[in-house]
Amino acid sequence: MGGGGHTHTLLAQNLERAAQSERFARFLPESARAIRGHAAENELAQIHLTLCFRAVRKIPFKSFEVLNWLWGWMDPSRVALNKATRESERSIVEEINEHHRIVSSTKEFRDVLGGMLVDPRQAVLRTMWKETHPRTYVMATESCEHERMPVVPGVVRAYLVCGFTVSPTPDGGCEVDYAISVNPKGSLP
């Protein structure tokens, strides 16, 4: 699946706004304070925290354009967006078929939680998509292991499950329903 840069940039901005739900925006600072407080009580605190959120948003793009952008793991607009969010590595590990692949992403989280040094997090993900009805797509992603992606010392393997449903709307746009659950795992200094 290919696509245009300007459309992908606008699409990325719309999806980013969808992820910025008011509930999620309130939850992150509270979670960061709770983690810092727990770490202050313990010299080495294991993270036993799973961040979950769901967002639903209507956006002015056709459903296949959204699928194209989501599936375009190495698209320059996706790479640029993720570099801006501290991503240091992004790759397609294995292309199983046109609907199924293994991908990886490593993010540097140093100095994110109030000045604490946090080990980088890597996710190795199995991701698949399917057209469930005309112009309605479902994409599911879950952490997995892969022989080409051994665990790297000093990098924590996070666990992630997420899903998208992208459905057309009568006005020619679409509705994106996105849910994610992330356990960053590891420890905090």
Give the Cα separation of 39 and 111 in Å (integer): 14
Q: For residue 99, which of 68, 130, 125, 73 has the smallest C-alpha distance?
A: 130
**What is the β-pairing status of strands 121-133 and 136-143?**
antiparallel
126: its two tokens: 């199995």
What pLDDT is recorded for position 23?
A: 41
- Range list of β-strands (E), the chain: 45-46, 51-59, 87-97, 100-107, 121-133, 136-143, 156-157, 159-168, 174-183, 187-188
Instruction: Please say whether the beta carbons of 76 and 5 come within 8 A.
Output: yes
Give the Cα separation of 156 and 45 in Å (integer): 14
Q: Give residue-wise pLDDT tens across range 46-81.
A: 445 677 888 899 999 999 999 999 999 998 888 888
Q: Give residue-wise pLDDT tens across range 149-158.
A: 999 998 999 9
Q: Which whole number is the average pLDDT over 162-173? A: 95
Please tell me what DSSP assigns to residue 148.
Answer: T
Average pLDDT, the chain: 78
Confidence of residue 182 (pLDDT cuts 50, 70, 90): confident
Superfamily in which the 5-188 domain is placed by CATH: START domain (3.30.530.20)
Asked whether residue 41 carries a pLDDT value surpassing 50, the answer given is no
Asked whether residue 35 carries a pLDDT value surpassing 50, the answer given is no
50 or 26: which carries more pLDDT confidence?
Answer: 50
Q: Is 16 exposed, middle or buried (0-12, 13-18, 19+ CB in 10 A)?
A: exposed
Q: Is 115 exposed, middle or buried (0-12, 13-18, 19+ CB in 10 A)?
A: exposed
Q: What Cα–Cα distance (Å) separates residue 29 from each residue in 35, 91, 154? A: 10, 30, 26
Q: Which whole number is the average pLDDT over 183-187? A: 81
Q: Which whole number is the average pLDDT over 106-115? A: 67
Q: Which whole number is the average pLDDT over 16-32? A: 44
pLDDT-above-70 percentage for the chain: 68
Q: Give residue-wise pLDDT tens across range 111-141.
A: 555 555 678 899 999 999 999 999 999 999 9
